Amino acid sequence: MSESYILGIETSCDETAAAVVGNGERLLSNVVSSQIATHQPYGGVVPELASREHLRAIVPVVREALRAAGKSYESIDAIAVTQGPGLAGALLVGISYAKALAFSLEKPLITVNHLEGHIHAVLLEEKQKGNFQIDFPLLALVVSGGHTHLFLAEQRGHGWSYTNIGRTRDDAAGEAYDKVAKLLGLGYPGGPVIDALARHGNPRAVKFGPSQIKHNNRGTPKAERTPYDFSFSGIKTAVLRYVELEGMRESIHARQQALAGIGKPAAENILAHCDKKTLDLVASFQRAVVEDLVGKTLEAAEEREARTLFVTGGVAANSELRERFTLEAAKAGLPVYFPSRKLSTDNAAMIAAAAFPKLQAKDFAGADFSAEATLVLR
């Protein structure tokens, strides 16, 4: 059978992305236009600005993805687009453009759940490496700026089916990274900065007890509770309290002033403006988050008898998280797979890859679907 090419389009948050993937396993191009510079002054993603930036970038990004893949619009077999979850206005830009392309080119259109995309980023790269042996049930931790979910996956027909067995009750893990970095005047996004700084601090210096990170069931109806839930808003408050108690405000302000003078500060610039107290705090925060993510995931894997682990999403780029998962999964005798750093954060290759089983099953979208900000993965 000849290879089928899917053009993937992703605009659910703050990256405008397009990619071409052959048969769900051969990456031909992967173009990501980041809006980090636009949102940096606000320390988080501003939805209205995100939509405007997607509108500006979508046409050149798609054109570049086709050019880099050596493909014409006509030679693509299908178009895949993220339907949700994500920012409604941002999703709509990608969806409207994908619909228009599919209509004018008379190509099938496939909708993809962003979370399934993150999971398929791992599968795509494993297939690229020649690893086609994935054992089920598979447990996937999807951990990013907007999500912290545990999905148990089984094979179903051409594709996979999912059961959500854990999720965050409040903030996503990446959101906690971003908020803590903002609070400490370390810039945006927080994950990569904290990742780089944490190795210079003592992770045992500040004690974050389980009470700060344990999930809180208050207010959640019993039927909706899942056994492996997460909660990351308590640790953010604990960091704030520590800052107040230890009188760190002035040094944070001084750092903000100093870094404002540097256009795009690198990790070394930021490190040069951090005292030991800040580095210890950052290292302790990261250790607490990583231990919680690894601990609950391995507990779930054992209890649900998972045979493979996937760890994916923006936070899966974190070095300590990767090290700890590699170590603990080996102890448990479980194979664990991560995407490369490039495919950990949002991209469209994962959307094109996740769409391939749907192309095989001829599971195409009509013209009447819209963005689903809270789309559930099943």
- Sites of contact with ligand KG4 (CB under 6 A): 13, 144-146, 174, 177-178, 189-192, 195, 313-315, 317-318, 345-346
Angle at 229 between CA 117 and CA 339, to 5 degrees: 30
Q: Residue 191 touches which of ligand KG4, Zn ion, none (CB < 5 to 8 A by kind)?
A: ligand KG4
Q: Residue 195 touches which of Zn ion, ligand KG4, none (CB < 5 to 8 A by kind)?
A: ligand KG4
Give the other-Cβ count within 10 Å of 36's Cβ. 13
CB 6, CB 29: distance < 8 Å:
no
| Residue 87 burial (10 A CB sphere; 0-12, 13-18, 19+) | buried
Q: Residue 345 touches which of Zn ion, ligand KG4, none (CB < 5 to 8 A by kind)?
A: ligand KG4
Decide whether 283 or 349 has the Cβ nearer to Zn ion: 349
Looking from the CA of 262 toward its CB, the CA atoms found within 13 Å total 15
Q: Residue 318 touches which of ligand KG4, Zn ion, none (CB < 5 to 8 A by kind)?
A: ligand KG4
Task: Give least dist CB 74 to ligand KG4, A.
Answer: 31
Task: Give least dist CB 83 to ligand KG4, A.
Answer: 14
The radius of gyration of the chain from alpha carbons, rounded to an integer in Å, stands at: 21
Task: Give least dist CB 95 to ligand KG4, A.
Answer: 17
How far is it, in rounded angstroms, from Cα 91 to Cα 117?
14
Residues that bind Zn ion (CB under 5 A): 144, 346
Scan for tokens 């344990």, then name that residue: 214
Task: Give least dist CB 330 to Zn ion, A.
Answer: 27
Decide whether 211 or 340 has the Cβ nearer to ligand KG4: 340
Decide whether 202 or 319 has the Cβ nearer to ligand KG4: 319
Q: Residue 177 touches which of Zn ion, ligand KG4, none (CB < 5 to 8 A by kind)?
A: ligand KG4
Nearest to 81 by CA among 66, 72, 91: 91
Task: Give least dist CB 76 to Zn ion, A.
Answer: 24
The dihedrals phi and psi of 75, each to the nearest 5 degrees, come to -85, 0
